[in-house]
Amino acid sequence: MRTRPLKVALLGCGVVGSEVARIMTTHADDLAARIGAPVELAGVAVRRPSKVREGIDPELVTTDATALVKRGDIDVVVEVIGGIEPARSLITTAFEHGASVVSANKALLAQDGAALHAAAEANDRDLYYEAAVAGAIPLIRPLRESLAGDKINRVMAIVNGTTNFILDKMDSTGAGYQEALDEATALGYAEADPTADVEAFDAAAKAAILAGIAFHTRVRLDDVYREGMTEVTAADFASAKEMGCTIKLLAICERAADGGSVTARVHPAMIPLSHPLASVRGAYNAVFVESDAAGQLMFYGPGAGGAPTASAVLGDLVAVCRNRLSGATGPGDSAYTQLPVSPMGEVVTRYHISLDVADKPGVLAQVATVFAEHGVSIDTVRQQGKDGEASLVVVTHRASDASLNGTVQALRSLDTVRGVASIMRVEGE
């Protein structure tokens, strides 16, 4: 074993960063044995240096992150501060001064992953980011290494624990959205401002990263269709149960049947109870992968939290340190296919549409005619009426998003249609 330690700079020492530092200290001997050399925490960049950080030498703490990554003797920079800037500039500077980088920054990778990979390659350094998607679940490395010889066709995932907890609570207890959100907040699963989670910004960033790796093409955050889950109601869950389904916020990345394009989207969807993702409860994450040779694979585990995310960071740290010792670099950006990302209007799936209609003869015929005129085939229809008003639930066969939108617009123009109560996609069949 080499006795000279590999030096690590830690950018950020919050929930995740403090766990990274703790594990590096408490598991130092094991990490050294696995890497082939000891690792040394050489500096910790923070915003509030006066805060007491148990187990971290105050002499290592600095507010000058730029100076830390420019030192020249740093082998690996671990970035867990999040956000776009200054993280982007710090990572680029680290590459330029000879360090490899381990990051958990999903937002930055979804927006500027191509540029960061290019900077890493230009300086012959590693960029690893297992912790950016699905916390502790080993996912990025299996997709880009273990399945490198396979063709991935579809990835369907639950990648946000907060939203899965809320939807699971609504499903299991009949609670409304706000009630379930309040419980998630009280238990610490939801932030004081849950927008990034419930409006699917967090999941969309992860979908961009997954799609890029799975399909060897460049998918940015702006390419991902995003729809939050704040409008999901207890009535939607009741309808789902009647179909033998539940509702999940899904990140779905697909290769077109002809192989000429890909899609990436995040939205609530009904999913059959028989599907493996339907059984993912609480704040857990899961990723369901479909490929030509391996078939169907499921990755499952805690998707957030200090210790689980730190586990993924440390796994990357071990891999990058091994590469440093051998003078090699790991897999970089693989975007050779350069496939276009199709717009949401071209996505084909099933739909569950709930309509408020007048309770009188001929309404069903009018509605069916509208669907037929827009080329949307109906699978099932259920109608309930009372006191002159009725609800009409239509489940379609597979149709494009654009054709369904045209259908809904035409339905709203009918005098007999009082309103569209809900529209939800049906996935996993």
Distance (Å, whole) CA 9 – CA 320: 13
Output the pLDDT for position 52. Answer: 80
Q: Is 151 part of the annotated catalytic residue set?
A: no
Structure confidence by residue, pLDDT tens digits, 405-424 = 999 999 999 999 999 999 99
Measured in whole angstroms, the distance separating CA 304 from the mean position of its chain's CA atoms is 11
Output the pLDDT for position 84. Answer: 96
Output the pLDDT for position 304. Answer: 81
* CA-based nearest residue to 256, from 342, 150, 338: 342
DSSP per position, 355-386:
EEEE-STTHHHHHHHHHHHTT--EEEEEEEEE
How confident is the prediction for the chain on average, in pLDDT?
Answer: 95
Q: Is the pLDDT of residue 1 over 80?
A: no
Output the pLDDT for position 51. Answer: 86
Radius of gyration of the chain (CA): 24
Output the pLDDT for position 388. Answer: 63
Q: pTM value?
A: 0.94
Structure confidence by residue, pLDDT tens digits, 291-326 = 999 999 999 999 888 899 999 999 999 999 999 999
Output the pLDDT for position 53. Answer: 86
Q: Is the pLDDT of residue 387 over 70?
A: no
Q: Is the pLDDT of residue 248 over 90?
A: yes
Q: Is the pLDDT of residue 386 over 70?
A: no
Q: Is the pLDDT of residue 256 over 80?
A: yes
Find the mean pLDDT for residues 381-393: 79
* CA-based nearest residue to 7, from 117, 126, 100, 128: 100
Catalytic-role residue among 7, 151, 169, 206: 206
Structure confidence by residue, pLDDT tens digits, 49-95 = 888 888 899 999 999 999 999 999 999 999 999 999 999 999 999 99
Question: Which range, 177-191, 265-279, 371-385, is most confident?
Answer: 265-279
Going by pLDDT thresholds of 50, 70 and 90, the confidence category of residue 376 is very high
Which residue in the block uniquely carries the two structure tokens 């391996």?
Answer: 294
